[in-house]
Structure 1
Amino acid sequence: MSNTVTLRLTKELSEFAKNPDHQLYLHYDDSNIMNIKAMITGPPDTPYCLGQFEFSLQFPRDYPSNPPKVLALTTNHGRSRFNPNIYAGGKVCLSILGTWRGNAGEQWSSAHGIISILLSIQSLMSDTPYRNEPGHDQEKDPAKLEPYNQKIRHETIRISICDRLEGYLGIGQTLNFNGSTDSTTTTASTPSSPLGAVNNTLATPVGTPNSGGTPIATTPSMFESLYAPAVTPDDEFCDLSKRLFLSYYDIYQNTVRTESEQIKDGSVFYKAPFEFGGNKMDGTFNYASLAKRLEAIRTAIDKETNDWATESSSWISHLNSISGNLKRQFEQVREYYNESNTGVVDIELTDDNPFLWNFTLFGKPMSNYDGGMFKVKIVFHKDFPEVQPRVKFTTPMYHVHVTQDGVPFYTVEKLDDARSHIEAISRLIVEDEPSTNPSTHVNLQAAKLHFGNKEQRREYNRNARRCASRSTDYFD
């Protein structure tokens, strides 16, 4: 690898880290930055809404003179074409990648880079992906556009969310040949230790479809030839995927409820005129099954978090360096907040356990949360910071960026710094206006009211003030 390529990629990765996007994620090995994994969450208000789509980027030795080779990895083992430009076999058709002829001025140039590539792929995940197919870009017939969207919504949840998370958590599924789930065979087993750390082994679902009509059990090597160059048993986004799932769970279930009111389970997917051979998306709708699968995933992740808390007492004695680091951070953070007036009080450990933190947030004066006192619990894992902590408001919180059951959506610059986590969570309450980025709106009702008309905004303010008023009831 030439120094020119190394310097270019290093610079791009540094810029990416300084300007994180809520919907673009990267993972790479410092010893070989020519191979990068990326995960894109589908844009809200599209049929790909908050799905988790993974891609590999393999950079040539003459980069940036030539583009990287990009392969879509979220394809249901090569069976599902998620977009006219994202094939079942993994090919991504984009003019800047040289995989599509495009128009003049749309080809690859050295001015392009990692971010522009990912944003171009993300732009394919539009509200009407049917129109991405050449010759159909002016299609207006809802009888074609919406049925195509409907099956993508279903498969986004089934494949990019359920299949993905079930693999991480060891939840088994037996699948019928067309990919619909036989919900009667679902079993859940949560490992004693979480599959959250980078490079942990990815659990393989016990059932995958064959070409016949009966459920079968398969070996992990069944589709090895399709993905051997790009996919390994290790998945670098395991911990991230779980945390995103906790934030977006209500949104996934809302999609399931909404779509199930429009589509009867057992209905066959619409087949677009440009789908053929193995490059298509076949199947039947089964939203009843998806609702149960999402619930089972949520239960398993919650149990995993509880297991961390239970096992953490043994980590204190066996993992002196990790527990010692967290204990020092706790003492430093507590001293910092004791000496400053930042709206955070009563930072403490549960039973003097450095893996279990609790703190209280004061609502900002003259704001909707004025007078409020909100308890927050942080559970750290023994592999912190590779595995990020699980955070939850234990006092009910009504906020655009906090789920109905208390999971906050936030980002931190220093993943290994506990104070950065507390400060990021505090900003949700201290800042006057929530972010307008819809991918951060994890309370749908609150977001609808806050960003609605004047009367809806007033209702949001009333709910927030009511939340603050009742928060003191949760203190002894």
Structure 2
Amino acid sequence: MSNAVTLRLTKELSEFTKNPDHQLFLHYDDSNIMNIKAMITGPPDTPYCLGQFEFSLQFPKDYPTNPPKVLALTNNYGRTRFNPNIYAGGKVCLSILGTWRGTAGEQWSSAHGIISILLSIQSLMSDMPYRNEPGHDMEKDKNKLEPYNQKIRHETIRISVCDRLESFLGINQPVYYSALGETSSSSSSSSASSPSSPPNSLAPNVALATPVGTPNSSGTPTQPTPALFEPLYASTVTANDEFSDLSKRLFLAYYDIYQHTVSTESEQVKDGTTFYKASFEFGGNRMDGTFNYASLAKRLEAIKQAIDKETTDWVSQSSQWISNSSRMSSNLRSQFEQIREYYRENNTGGVEVELIDDNPFVWTFTLFGKPMSNYDGGMFRVKIVFHDTFPDIQPRVKFLTPMYHVHITSDGVPFYAVEKPDDVRSHIESISRLVLEDEPSTNPSTHVNLEAAKLHFGTKEQRREYNRNARRCASRSTEYFE
């Protein structure tokens, strides 16, 4: 790798870090920045809504003269085509990547970079992805748009959310395939068209000897990595995936939205209905299956319970971390003393911090509502639970006092971005800004309370209803301190 390539990538990564995006995430090793993993959350108001999609970017030695090789990793082990331009085998068809024909202005140039690539991929996840297919006819195909969207919505929840999080948590997943590394020419056509019995699989609903996500003898959840696709899937989802912690925190923030999608879609399509098959889907490059929203609702609930239990387990484990005099135990206690002193000296009564049971891994802070705002007079208690590997694993945060806000879920999980992930005060101030700022962000990917967002950004009467709900929650907040 030349110095010029290193400098270029280092500059791009620095710019990305300085301007974080709520839907684009990167992971890389400083010792080898030629290989980068990215996660893109699907845009709201599309069939990909807040799904978690991973991609790998492998940069050539002559970058940026030539573009990186980009592969889609979220594809059900090579069995699901999520878009006319995102193939089941991982290929991403984009003119700027040189994987699709385009006009001179659409082709790769050294002016492009990591951010433009990710935004271009994200643009494929549109509200009508069927139209990405060059051969579609605007008039003749208009009745095919929604049937195609419906199956993407289902598989976004099933594959990019449920399968993904269950792998991280070691939850036994429903078996949609097995014996992936084997090949056979005797598979029946029926078994090749259903996710519960794909090509080369056993009969539907026959459990694997080692189900997906089942811990092996070392305690690590297993994955059925097919030998046939090994080069491509060597770095797909595992319990120690680079985005595991991020995905769990995003899940907690988006849980209500995922369940809302499941509830809404289950009213539109009956469970057991076979997916619509588009004309451009063929061979193994397709998205086959049947709808089963009842199962998805239960799986989402089980995932949330497992993540909540993880947080509770951290509290139980913290006594051992303290008794072992872990480095993080001392670090968090030191930060607590400094932050408490900071707010005593520089705050006008807006924030008060304390430790629960003198435990440096479990903090609470009380946030006082801003005068002359909807939350004037309110007292909102927030709990922060840390892991011994903080900041590699970020804290779990929850409002203990009921809160009505666009950026706070109905059960108290705030959606916030933190400037300094290793600085607890930065976390507290980022959370505080959600309540203290006069207007919430207009970015829909940050709107984790759908009802509140609808009212706040709706008509004048709806906005007044939002304000009333916020003031009501502030006036009742003191009841939780009695």
Please, what TM-score do these two structures have when normalized by structure 1? 0.92
CA distance in 2, matches of 1:140, 1:48: 24
Where 2:106 maps in the other structure, the secondary structure is coil
- 1:445 correspondence with 2:441: no
Cα deviations across residues 323-382 of structure 1 (Å, max 9, x unaligned)?
A: 000001001111111112255333100111100001000000000000000000000000
Asked if structure 2 preserves the Cα contact closer than 8 Å seen for 1:73 and 1:231, the reply is no
- 2:309 matches 1:303: yes
For 1:16, the aligned partner's letter is F
Does the 8 A contact of 1:74 with 1:160 survive in 2? yes
Partners of 1:412 and 1:424 within 8 A in 2? yes
Please say if 1:255 is aligned against 2:245: no
Aligned equivalents of 2:197, 2:379: Cα separation in 1: 49
* Partner Cα distance (1:227, 1:64) in 2: 28
SS at match of 1:39: strand
Cα offset for 1:95?
0.2
Aligned CA distance change for structure 1 residues 342 and 448 (closer, same or farther; 3 Å): farther
Pick aligned residue for 1:369 from 365, 372, 375: 375
Verify the 8 A CA contact 1:176 1:213 in the aligned structure 2: no
Instruction: Provide the rounded CA distance (Å) in 1 between the counterparts of 2:54 and 2:209.
Output: 23
Q: CA deviation at 1:321?
A: 1.3
- 1:7-18 equivalence runs, <5 A: 7-18=7-18
Q: CA deviation at 1:141?
A: 4.3
1:28-427 maps to which residues of 2 (within 5 A)?
28-136=28-136, 138-139=138-139, 141-177=141-177, 210-214=200-204, 215-217=206-208, 220=223, 222-229=225-232, 231-232=234-235, 233=238, 234-341=240-347, 343-427=349-433
| Structure 1 CA distance for aligned equivalents of residues 389 and 315 of structure 2 | 13
1:240-286 alpha-carbon deviations (Å, 9 max, x no partner): 00000000000000000000001100000000000000000000000
The answer to whether the 8 A contact 1:208-1:217 is kept is: no
Q: Which amino acid aligns with 1:102?
A: G
Q: Which residue, 461, 470, 478 being the options, matches 1:472? A: 478
Q: Per-residue displacement from partner, 1:395-447 (whole Å, max 9, x unpaired)?
A: 00000000000000001011000000000000001000000000000000000
Q: Is the 8 A contact 2:225 2:234 kept in 1?
A: no
Question: Partner amino acid for 1:375?
Answer: R
**Residues 151 and 446 (structure 1), Cα distance of their counterparts in 2 relative to 1, 3 Å cut:** same
Partner SS for 2:362: strand
Which ranges of structure 1 fall in alignment gaps of 5 or more residues? 179-206
2:258 counterpart letter in structure 1: Y
CA deviation map 1:37-96 (0-9, x unaligned): 000000000000000000000000000000000000000000000000000000000000
Cα distance in 1 for residues equivalent to 2:278 and 2:286: 8
Number of the residue aligned with 1:188: none
TM-score with structure 2 setting the length: 0.90
Counterpart AA for 1:349: L
Work out the CA distance in 2 between the residues paired with 1:458 and 1:224: 59
State the partner residue of 1:183. none
Please give the secondary structure, in 1, of the residue aligned with 2:105: coil
Which shifted more, 126-135 or 215-224?
215-224
Deviations 1:141-187 (A, max 9, x none): 44200000000000000000000000011110232459xxxxxxxxx
SS at match of 1:55: strand
Contact 1:380 1:389 in 2 (8 A): yes
- 3-state secondary structure, aligned to 1:122: helix
Task: Kindly indicate whether the alpha-carbon contact (under 8 Å) linking 1:208 and 1:216 is maintained by their aligned counterparts in 2.
Answer: no
Q: Decide which moves more: 221-230 or 437-446.
A: 221-230
- The question of whether the paired residues in 1 share the 8 Å contact of 2:381 and 2:401 is answered with yes
- The question of whether the paired residues in 1 share the 8 Å contact of 2:37 and 2:56 is answered with yes
Matches of 1:144 and 1:316 in 2, distance apart? 59
Does the CA contact (< 8 Å) of 1:55 and 1:72 recur in 2? Answer: yes
Letter in 2 for 1:120: S
The C-alpha deviation readout for 1:87-118, integer Å capped at 9, x for no partner, is 00000000000000112211100000000000
Partner of 1:192: none
Counterparts of 1:24 and 1:231, CA distance in 2: 22
Label 1:379 to 1:272 Cα distance change in 2 as closer, same or farther (>3 A). Answer: same
State the shift of 1:139 in Å.
4.9
Name the CA distance, whole Å, in 2 between partners of 1:226 and 1:364: 56
| Helix, strand or coil at the partner of 2:16 | helix
Identical pairs, percent? 78
More moved, 84-93 vs 343-352: 343-352
| Structure 1 residues 140 and 366, CA gap change in structure 2 (3 angstroms) | farther
Query: Aligned partners of 2:307 and 2:177: how far apart in 1?
Result: 28
Structure 2: distance between partners of 1:140 and 1:468: 54
Q: Taking structure 1 as reference, are residues 80 and 41 closer, same or farther at Cα in structure 2, changes over 3 Å only?
A: same
Aligned AA for 2:63? Answer: Y
Give the 3-state SS of the residue equivalent to 2:360 in structure 1. Answer: strand
Contact 2:77 2:233 in 1 (8 A): no
The structural deviation recorded for 1:229 is 4.5
Aligned equivalents of 1:88 and 1:119: distance in 2?
20
Corresponding pairs, count: 448
C-alpha spacing 1:257/1:32, structure 2 compared with 1 (3 Å) = same
